[in-house]
Amino acid sequence: KSCCKSLSNKLKLIAKEVKGSTGYKLCHRNEIRALLKSFGTPALFLTLNPCDVHHPLVGILGGLLPEAWQAMSLYEHSVFVANNPAAAAQFFHVMMTHFLQIIA
């Protein structure tokens, strides 16, 4: 029994680098616990997801007039964003910069 437990612990140690494995999850769980002990529990979690497919700023950054963006379908918006990754990246940067200015 102790031999199996010892082998299991060794496998967890080896598997901590394999994403999705029990060892990986355990390693990251322990890391989160250590951070909580050091810094305390977080007061607020935010998940930001600026929707580049719907926002006209992406079209403007990609060289379109706002009227042209409004005339496009959702599918055309998606194709435009896929073909203009620089405009999508600029849009994301602008949104995050403004968000951080607001909360700071």
Name the residue ranges covered by the structural domains of the chain.
2-39, 56-103
- Whole-model pTM: value is 0.57
What gap in Å lies between CA 29 and CA 13, rounded to an integer? 14
Neighbours of 52 (CB within 10 A): 23
pLDDT in tens, 74-104: 999 999 999 999 999 999 999 999 999 988 7
* Cα 39 from chain centre: 22
Contact 61, 90 (CB under 8 A): yes
pLDDT in tens, 10-23: 777 677 777 888 77
